[in-house]
Chain A
Amino acid sequence: MASTTLTAPAPRGYDPAAAKPFLEQFDRVKDGLPGAGLSWLNELRSQGQARFAALGLPTVKNESWRYTNLRALDKLTFQPAAETGEAVRFDVLPTVRADGATGPRLVFVDGRFRAELSSTTGLPAGVELLNLADALTRKPDLVAEHLGRIAAPDDRTLVALNTAFLADGPVLHVPRGVTVDETIELVFVSVGSEAQPTAFHPRGLIVAEAESHAVIVEHHVGLGSCTTLSNGVTEVFVGEGASVHHYKVQREHAESFHLSHTAAKVAGKGVYDNFILTIGAKLSRNEVNSVLDGEEGDTHVSGAYMVRGGQHVDTTTFIDHAKPCCTSREVYKGVIDDQARAVFQGKIIVRPDAQKTDGYQQNRALLLSDTAEIDAKPELEIYADDVKCSHGATVGELDDDQLFYLRARGIDKAEARGLLIGAFLSEALEEIAEESVRDAFQSYVADWQNVR
């Protein structure tokens, strides 16, 4: 991106003043960031810094942010995560594995890699699983070739912010033709500090070469109750005929802000399968962008969310049918209780040459209280004629007839409601192809329901 474009004034819907507290830190920390000696990386970081400085945070006048207000962030001054060293210990880390089983895993606490908790056990030869800070010294070419290529620091201002501060995160490289049988787990723990709100910007990179296969599960959890901001960006490259199953569960605590941007690029006949289960955080937004960049590619972008109290959850997806004969499928289900608010924005674009596209999107939400709110904006933008695209959205409460049916069989109201809510969410979880993951996610859903 040309430097003039980077410093171009903010278009409508940004608040440049909000950039200031973050930028003051940038000058302080930039020389200490991993890979600070690499000129290409310095260049990328300063691009991010320049764009974020010009834009600041998005406001509700920004079409993509009309339903999610980040003003709460504005009131807080976030500091970079302090060295927690080994001070934070864990009795147990979240996993989808059976008790006691071990497998490949990377653990990050407040965005920093924790080698002693991580393992590369069970990976086939040639597969690289390491943290970004290490990758910059051990695999600089791999990182240089891919980092910032599909999530560029453009008008997505939070990507620009992440790019400016990027320091660590998971890196996975699966060579051509290799199948990773073991599920790879990535664990992110937010701890923060009593002293001040803490921000970190995890940056992930997944490169699956042609005909390779991998299953990845991300766990995002919180410890304690300090205010944290996780502003993550992950780039996923799916090679020809490769498949990446990418699952994520976010169970952060009630004082955390969770912003995440996942950008995938799928080559011909490749498969990118993404599922996000959102349970935690005060405010969370998951953006998933999947570009079908080769013929006969396939992408699934699905998820479920359940929120209560004063939680705010935003799911914003963008499926880009750039080439012919691709398919996409999107199924989202959500349950909103108390004063919680959910936002779903899903856009499918079919480019002029992307004939024979088959796109499907379904978004359903249940409101459980009189003060809950859902805002949905499913969007189709189609420039090719020989396509089949549909989307549907429904919002409402539990079906009275179904409730009556259960109650007529002697099931009390609370239990009947629980059964129906569980069944409703299960339909979304069915989108998860991997059984162990589906079972684990199902148990998180049950835990959420049991709190009531």
Chain B
Amino acid sequence: MAATTETVEQVRAVTEQKYKYGFTTDIESDVAPKGLNEDTVRFISAKKEEPEWLLEWRLKAFRVWQEMEEPRHWAKLSYPPIDYQDAHYYAAPKMKDRPKSLDEVDPELLKTYEKLGIPLREQEILAGVEGAEGKSPAIAVDAVFDSVSVATTFKAKLEEMGIIFCSISEAVHKCPELVQKYLGSVVPYTDNFYATLNCAVFTDGSFVYIPKGVRCPMELSTYFRINQANTGQFERTLIIADEGSYVSYLEGCTAPKRDENQLHAAVVELVALDDAQIKYSTVQNWYPGNEDGVGGIYNFVTKRGACRGRNSKISWTQVETGSAITWKYPSCILQGDNSVGEFYSVAITNNFQQADTGTKMIHIGKNTRSTIVSKGISAGRAQQTYRGLVKILPKAEGARNHTQCDSLLIGDQCGAHTVPYIENRNRTARVEHEATTAKISEDQLFYCRQRGLSEEDAVSLIVNGFCKEVLKELPMEFAVEAQKLVGISLEGSVG
């Protein structure tokens, strides 16, 4: 079933209006001059009033980065050279001081988040919920706008339980010993080109610490927004779950429509100690560029979780619909005995989007288990690759992995690729990998249409069914949003 001209037209029509987050906020910003050198690093560090050790760490990273080669040879991505000197590395909305309450935040900013549907006023979340007074709210938000965090909700309430949830810049001052102990402990400053760049110039991001035995009563969430033109966003997130604790964390991202590409190189580090659990969910909806492949975010992200303790668990769930380029491999280092790693991913690429994404599961401890479920949907002229590594080290007795990668192709101009690496050095380990590639079956479509569903509803239904294993892993609020996104991203792409 080849795509007809009509389909192509439809896809165009849909994608043009699909990205509803493409607006720009007109706000005065404090911007670092273009370019990247040691002074840029010092400038950022000074803006954040950072302690000496952190500046030294940044500078060390920067010196290493200068010697590094951009990793262009292995990922199945193609993009023009990036001029790292032609961007601003710091942009922040002009504010006198860090606002103490929402009333001090620029109303333009508040309007932006309102438009994006992100609740920044604590009472708003509770509005409409009868007798919500005194009950646990659903979600706490840290809102990062370009290079800075503009607001964090429910901080006080969380503090009562000993939970620290704030921007990482704030954490550097508030709990330096925790930051110093864990920052770079999962993704060291020498890790890879983009992560090392991030170490040198990261501006803000979220910090979470869940104390021993505490089950975080609400979803924690960070919402990243790129607004300023010609800026890169380099955020850094660090989540530490102490012994026996639990946290579910959500991440969302959008950016305005612009004709030039913008760089986003984030680092996320997760640490789970004995019996702790971290559930990390992402709905990545950066601006993907237009239907001709102009503009869009270059998303080069390093996400890694360390299951340091016994019986710990880290679970990554991602729904990737945005970005012109996605380069992202959320990983788990399963160090503690009996620890568990999970990776659930839905990636949808349309038009000229390119995604090279997957995971790494490194089994070090005994009886460590990992599950990988990856669903890729490629339409238009998009190219998508699943790239994953399952590595079993000699001591990982009884380790188990199961991997399932399915790809769906819509139209004859796109590509779907699967590149799994399996390295096993333990006899008692069992690793299973399965992958399939197919198109939406005509029988399924016919069956739905025969029952009166429109073609688009049928496709949306079938694709949602295809993704179900992953979507069911998302927290409720996200699952609803993700299902809609799946539908929107593919509307009209089957003829």
Contacts and interface: CB of A to CB of B under 8 A. Distances in A.
A122 B418 CA distance: 47
Interface stretch (B19-27, B165-173, B174-182, B406-414): B406-414
Contact of A380 (B418, B422, B423): B418
Contact of B435 (A352, A373, A391, A395): A391
A392 B410 CA distance: 23
Interface in B413-458: 413-439
A393 interface: yes
Interface residues of B, number: 37
Interface string A362-393: 00010111111111111111111111111111
- Looking at B394, B411, B416, B427, which has the most chain A CB atoms within 10 Å of its CB? B427
A400 B90 CA distance: 59
A394 B428 contact: no
A97 to B, nearest CB: 39
B432 A394 contact: yes
B13 interface: no
A390 B409 contact: no
B73 interface: yes
A386 B413 CA distance: 11
Contacts of B2: 355, 385-386
A74 B168 CA distance: 51
A384 B439 CA distance: 9
A386 B1 contact: yes
A370 B422 CA distance: 17
B427 A370 contact: yes
Nearest to B425: A373
- Looking at A373, A382, A385, A391, which has the most chain B CB atoms within 10 Å of its CB? A385
A372 B425 CA distance: 6
A393 B409 contact: no
A138 interface: no
Contacts of A370: 394, 426-427
B209 to A, nearest CB: 38
Q: Looking at chain B's contact residues, is the secondary structure mostly helix, strand, loop, or mixed? A: strand
B419 A377 contact: yes
Contacts of B79: none
B424 A385 contact: no
Contact of B429 (A352, A382, A396): A396
Given A387-B409, A391-B435, A378 B420 contact: yes
Contacts of B53: none
Interface string A390-421: 11111111000000000000000000000000
B231 to A, nearest CB: 32
A378 B438 contact: no
A373 B421 CA distance: 13
Contacts of B428: 397
A428 B415 CA distance: 31
Contacts of A380: 407, 416-418, 435, 437
B422 A12 contact: no
B112 to A, nearest CB: 39
B30 to A, nearest CB: 42
B430 A395 contact: yes
Contacts of B433: 376, 378, 391-394
Contacts of B421: 375-377
A378 B437 CA distance: 13
A435 interface: no
Interface residues of A, number: 36
Nearest to A374: B424
Nearest to B431: A395
A372 B438 CA distance: 35
Given A382-B407, A385-B412, A395 B424 contact: yes
Given A378-B420, A386-B439, A393-B433, A355 B427 contact: no
Interface string B156-193: 00000000000000000000000000000000000000
A391 B424 contact: no
Nearest to B432: A394
B412 A389 contact: no
Contacts of B435: 378, 380, 390-392
B436 A396 contact: no
- Looking at B413, B417, B437, which has the most chain A CB atoms within 10 Å of its CB? B437
A24 interface: no
B417 A381 contact: yes
Nearest to A365: B424
Contact of B427 (A367, A391, A392): A367
A63 interface: yes
Interface in A23-72: 63
Contact of A368 (B74, B423, B427, B439): B427
A384 B412 contact: yes
A368 B427 CA distance: 6
B417 A385 contact: no
Contacts of B417: 379-382
A396 B424 CA distance: 8
Contacts of A355: 2, 412
- Looking at B424, B425, B434, B439, which has the most chain A CB atoms within 10 Å of its CB? B424
Given A369-B427, A378-B435, A382-B437, A393 B411 contact: no
A362 B425 CA distance: 20
A374 B416 CA distance: 26
A387 B437 contact: yes
Given A63-B74, A391-B418, A392-B433, A397 B407 contact: no
A393 B414 contact: no
Nearest to B415: A383
Interface in A249-283: none
Contacts of B73: 12
A385 to B, nearest CB: 4
Contact of B438 (A369, A376, A381, A388): A388
A397 B397 CA distance: 11
Nearest to B385: A381
A278 to B, nearest CB: 19
Interface in B251-292: none
A381 B431 CA distance: 22
Nearest to A398: B427
A375 B420 CA distance: 11
A63 B73 CA distance: 9
Given A12-B73, A375-B422, A382 B394 contact: no
Interface string B354-382: 00000000000000000000000000000
A385 B410 contact: yes
Nearest to A364: B432
Contacts of B423: 373-376
B391 to A, nearest CB: 9
A387 to B, nearest CB: 6
A390 to B, nearest CB: 4
A370 B412 CA distance: 46
Contact of B415 (A367, A381, A395): A381
6 contacts: A365-B424, A373-B424, A374-B424, A385-B414, A389-B436, A391-B418
Given A378-B433, A392-B432, A396-B431, 20 more contacts: A367-B426, A370-B394, A375-B423, A376-B423, A377-B422, A378-B420, A380-B416, A380-B437, A382-B407, A382-B415, A385-B2, A387-B409, A390-B434, A390-B436, A392-B433, A392-B435, A393-B432, A393-B433, A394-B430, A394-B433
Interface of B: 1-2, 73-74, 394, 407, 409-439
